[in-house]
Chain A
Amino acid sequence: MILRLKYFGMIAEAIAKEEENVEIQHRTIADLDGLLKRKYPQLVTLEYQFALNQTLAGMDEIIKDGDEIALLPPFAGG
């Protein structure tokens, strides 16, 4: 399946990318997190959370084809 990934703030800076499509066979956010940490080892030391289709998502959430997933560093609004 194909996922649309979006990266923000220090995450986008660390991996030098703001978005990409990835094709994976994995099932959960945790699976995706593992794959991304292998692809971008610099993520291992960074703090971030996932949003699945614009809602914060836990590691056990199931992902499906066409989902939009974002890696969000700590918030700094206000």
Chain B
Amino acid sequence: MSEKKIKNFLVEGPITPEKIATSIAHHQVKTNIGAHDIFLGQVRADQIEGKEVIAIDYSAYAEMANKVFDEIREAAFDKYDLTCAHIYHSIGVVKVGELCLFVFTSSKHRAMAFDACRYITEEIKAKAPVFGKEVFENSSFQWKSNQ
């Protein structure tokens, strides 16, 4: 077993625009960076059988999810010439219009930042044990599944 301490990538509730702004500000001292790319996942008001989604209630197998996020991030560093990579995923209730995923990649040049951001986002969708309940106006719900 590795002794490496795994970071917590899970955030309780929505990811705020302020957190994103602060995160960008923290990178201004890293003057070897020439390009950032950001992916933001936002909860959509889907219409399902005449009912409108008002929120997604996320849960996760937290220990495994953090391990998977860490592996995805490490793999991105191996594949792309990155300076920084950050991942934050919400847990708990995130209302429509609010943000549930923040992927932030930084590199010397744009191509690596773009490619790594997409790679990380797609890997999260496919591999992270995060589960979501789509909650409707009348408090009924259905379980969501990534396509």
Contact = CB atoms under 8 A, between A and B. Distances in A.
A10 B133 CA distance: 9
A5 to B, nearest CB: 12
Interface residues of A, number: 16
A51 interface: yes
Contacts of B126: 75
A46 to B, nearest CB: 10
Contacts, number: 74
Nearest to B131: A9
Interface stretch (B19-27, B78-86, B139-147): B139-147
A23 to B, nearest CB: 23
A43 interface: no
B95 interface: no
Interface of A: 6, 8-10, 13, 51, 54-55, 70, 72-78
